Amino acid sequence: MLLQDQPTSPRREAARPAFRFILLLGLLDAFGPLGIDMYLPAFPQIERDLKAQAGAMQLTLSLFLAGLAVGQLICGPISDRVGRRRPLLFGSAAFAVACVVCAFARSIEALILARFIMGLAGATGMVIARAVVRDSFEEAESARVYSMLMLVIGIAPIISPSVGGWLMGFGGWGLIFWALAGFACLCGLAVAVGLPETHPAERRTRDSAAELASRYAGMIVDRRFMGYAAPVSLALGMIFAYVASAPSLFMQIFGLSPNAFSLIFASNAIGLIGAAQVNRWLTRRYDTHVILRVASLVNAASCLLLPLLAWTGAGGFPAFFANIFVCLTTVGLILPNATAAAMAPFPHQAGVASALLGTLQFAVGAVTGAIVGVFHNGTSLPMALTIAACGTCSLAITVASERRKAQAVAVAA
């Protein structure tokens, strides 16, 4: 059950999350994935209906991602100041309103603006979900909770494009945004009825804007935070590099049909999600830092093999696909354990830590996605080199962070 004890309570370590609690947090964390993926099948139709110029539809996606990044920096500190429930209620309502505006949009400019507001509002659920976990559980249990959240939010990219296409068949692309508005309303109702306040008044901050900027600056140079936030962000960078390259990689380079591509894409997503669920079992038997070290080593080895396979073509598609599968599956072990380690030292600044972590993730993801696009040359090499760079940097930073942690423990002893 969800506990309301203070961080020093020994009962918190033994806490076990309720299914409804985790499901709600997962749905709140899914605002971003649903907002990204559900309307993708409608791109051509929206472009025709709104008479949009070439490239304008991509702005509706990039501005949404920008809103997610900026919104996390804003609403994380707000939740540290006023609690978690009120920002979640406001964010759910704002997301729903922005979706309705999207449904009624009659120009591409209006749609782009509404999508940016959707991103700002959707960031509320994503950043506060992580903060609520940090409020409620200690590091080992929070790693298991983050694994369960990955199960919920990981399903969204798999099914949401199909759901969006199905909705279009019934009522056009506007129905997709009405469905997202309804989803936001249901989440807001669930928060109002079923989510207790996990950040009590005595733990809230009263920082001014200058003090908040100082907190962000201090956290960016804090090795306890950045030592694990960087691997989390680089892991997401691998995913963005893969997602940005996957359509051309599988369908144009390897010649797969659209149906085969869908199966391959889904299988990699299932591997990532499945690993996150295996992590729940592993964390009950092994220290989360041991799992993180082993997963990072295997991930880096598989990432370094990718450029070799891309350059030589050795093993053909089966070898290349198997190696990508290993890369993404080990990411499913890195993300929850590194996230828990990054958040653990900041029980009273969970909102700020979660906001900065989320912003770093989207920033690195956006950069890696852009890199594979800029250097696209009709081969799999740009993606392979980008993923290899992320994997090796992630391993190097993790090893350094683990060494510092071990030294700190030895000194304390």
Give per-residue pLDDT as tens, 178-223: 999 999 999 999 999 988 888 887 777 776 767 778 888 888 889 9
Distances (CA, A) of 276 to 1, 213, 329, 363: 21, 34, 8, 23
Above 80 in pLDDT, residue 228?
A: yes
Above 50 in pLDDT, residue 7?
A: no
Q: Are 42 and 164 in contact (CB under 8 A)?
A: yes
Q: Are 303 and 388 in contact (CB under 8 A)?
A: yes
Least confident span in 4-13, 23-32, 81-90, 137-146: 4-13
Tell me the pLDDT tens digit for each residue of 349-395: 777 888 888 888 878 877 887 787 778 787 889 889 999 999 999 99
Kindly give, in sequence order, each residue whose CB lies less than 8 Å from that of residue 208, ignoring residues fewer than 6 positions away.
none
3-state secondary structure of 120: helix
Start and end residues for every CATH 1.20.1250.20 domain found in the chain: 16-206, 215-413
First to last CA, the chain: 33
Cα–Cα distance for residue pair 244/373, rounded to 1 Å? 7
Above 90 in pLDDT, residue 298?
A: yes
> Rounded to an integer, what is the distance from CA 60 to the centroid of its chain?
19
- Residue with the two structure tokens 């993790």: 398
Q: Which amino acid belongs to residue 329?
A: T
Superfamily of the domain at 16-206: MFS general substrate transporter like domains (1.20.1250.20)
Cα–Cα distance for residue pair 413/409, rounded to 1 Å? 6
Residue 161 — pLDDT band, cuts 50, 70, 90? confident
Cα–Cα distance for residue pair 215/348, rounded to 1 Å? 12
Q: Which has more confidence, 273 or 259? A: 273
Work out the burial of residue 284: count CB atoms within 10 Å of its CB; fewer than 13 is exposed, 13-18 middle, 19 or more buried: exposed
The count of residues in the chain is 413
Rounded mean pLDDT, 90-103: 96
Cα–Cα distance for residue pair 235/299, rounded to 1 Å? 10
Residue 9 — pLDDT band, cuts 50, 70, 90? very low
For 215-413, CATH number out of 1.20.1250.20, 1.10.3720.10, 3.20.20.80, 3.40.50.720 equals 1.20.1250.20
Q: Are 355 and 253 in contact (CB under 8 A)?
A: no
Tell me the pLDDT tens digit for each residue of 98-149: 999 999 999 999 999 999 999 999 999 988 988 888 888 887 788 888 877 8
Q: Are 76 and 354 in contact (CB under 8 A)?
A: yes
Q: What is the pLDDT of residue 1?
A: 35
Tell me, yes or no, if the pTM score tops 0.75: no
Q: Are 112 and 63 in contact (CB under 8 A)?
A: yes
Phi, psi of 306 (to 5 degrees): -60, -50
Above 90 in pLDDT, residue 65?
A: no
